[in-house]
Structures are given as C-alpha cells and as structure tokens.
Amino acid sequence: MENIIEIRNLEKFYGRFPALNGVNLTLKGSRIIGLCGPNGAGKTTLIKILTGLIRDYKGEILIKDEASSALSRRLISYQPDTSRLTKESTGYSMANYYKDMYPDFEMSVMEELFAKLNLDPRKPVGKMSKGMVEKFQLILTMSRRAEIYLFDEPIAGVDPAARDLIMETILTQYRKDALVVISTHLIRDVETILDEVIFINDGQVLLHRNCDELRSEKNMSIDELFREEYRCF
C-alpha cells in the first residue's frame, strides 16, 4: 500500500511553546487511523498543518509524494473541530460551492446523507442546533470521494446517539482505498473502527501501531491503554 502522507521532522512552536516537536509519521491508504491525545497534545495543530491552515512550520510534509500545496489540498476532505459554515449557509448553497470547487464532490451522496441524517438541506446553519451543524459538516465532508479524510474531534460535543450515527456514517461512506484520520480524545467511541492508532502528547508521537497487534500485545483495549498512558481521566 502506497504512502499517502509522509511527515518528516515536523516542528511547530507557538512562541516558545512546542506544539509539535520532531514528529515523524508515515500514513498509508485503506486505513482508519485514530490520532489520540489529551487536549493540547498537538492533534489540531498537526491536522491544521496538513490542511494548509497553518503554514509556518519546520520540517517536510509530502502528500502522495508532493509537497503540501493548493494541488495537494484537493485530495483532502477535512472536517474541522469548529463550524466552517456561515449562518446563512444551507445544504444547497454549500452543494453549489462544493460542486464548483471539488471535482470529487457527489451531489447524489449529499442528498442521500441529508435524508439519512434527517436534515433539511434548505435550512440555514443559523437555525440549526449544534448537533445538526456537526451532522451538516459531516455530510459535506463525506460527500466527497476524497483520498484523504481528516476529522478533527468529530464527536466532541454531541450526544452518544449522534456519536454512533456520525461514526456509522464515516464508516459506511468513506472511499475504501482512502486514508481516514480521526483526531479524538474519546477513544472508546471510535476504537472499534480503528485500524491503527497514534498516541501523541506534548507535540511528540509516543506510539503508532496497528490496533489489533497492540490489543493482543498489551492484553487491553486501546481505551484502557490510553487511560493508562495519560492517566488523565
């Protein structure tokens, strides 16, 4: 399986504070990877660098062997941890935008997901609840047949029922040869769908392993291992 993302010696400082400090990662396709760590570990910074929202860093990032650029960004479907939508945005207005900007956007998938998640595509974001906005963002992200899906805390702040629905949607809709990275500190809710897990803390990668191998080696779930590793819950 080819390398989709290669990160070499990545460093990012906020002033003197190291948000990422010598991160090296190689991520391959056809995998769902959990990027796990406590708040402030560097998960969001890493994802923002991959998507181009943070462009001042040291190190090298290759996306399908290309340096990170506008061209490489076309491969990424990204769901941020905060809303990226204005209050006036509706399903249809966003569909028009996505159709024009992303050749891999599929209108039929979007309509199907709106129906499945019981959302009205004519309703503006300003009139939606927080959970509905999360679902709306998920629909936009999953309506693309992207090669890379990056989710930043997709289930934080929604109720357990909505969490299940979100995870199920990701699992059923993503392109099977794609790379899916889910950043979260709610390991228990995502553990069952993960192929690999990355533990990150203080801007450093502590561990990057296959989930099944890790479970049998440590004889505990990823969630238990996470709690033991960080002792923060």
Partner 1 sequence: MFLKLIKHDILNSWKDFGLSYLLGLGLAVLLFISKIPGETNIIFSLFVSLLMLGLGLAVTIVSIRALIRLFYSSLYTQDPVLTWTQPVSSTWVLLSKVIVGFIWSLVSIVFIVALMAIFLLLVSQDTVEGLQMIYDMFSEYISVDPSVQIVYIVSFVASYCLQAATILLVGAIANSSWIRQHRNILAVAFFLIIYFTITNIISLVSRGGPIVISTFGSSIYVGLSNGLGSALLFYCGYIVLSAVLFLLGKLVIDHKLEIN
User: How far does Cα 180 stand from its chain's mean position?
Assistant: 7
State the minimum distance, in angstroms, from the CB of residue 206 to partner 1. 25
Q: Which token pair is 92?
A: 């249809």
CB of 90 to partner 1, least distance (A): 12
Distances (CA, A) of 162 to 112, 118, 128, 134: 18, 12, 15, 9
Q: Which is nearest to 76 in space by CA: 6, 148, 4?
A: 148
Pick between residue 78 and residue 136 the one whose CB is nearest to partner 1: 78
- Which is nearer to partner 1, 76 or 222 (by Cβ)? 76
Closest distance to partner 1 from the beta carbon of 97 (Å): 6
Give the chain's largest Cα–Cα span: 51
Q: Which is nearer to partner 1, 144 or 225 (CB)?
A: 144
- Nearer to partner 1 by C-beta: 1 or 70? 70
> d(Cα 226, Cα 87) in Å, to the nearest integer?
37
Do 153 and 81 form a contact (C-beta atoms < 8 A)? yes
Q: Shortest distance, CB of residue 192 to partner 1, whole angstroms?
A: 29
* Residue ranges in contact with partner 1 by CB under 8 A: 14-15, 48, 51-56, 69-71, 73-74, 76, 78, 80, 82, 84-86, 88, 96-97, 100-102
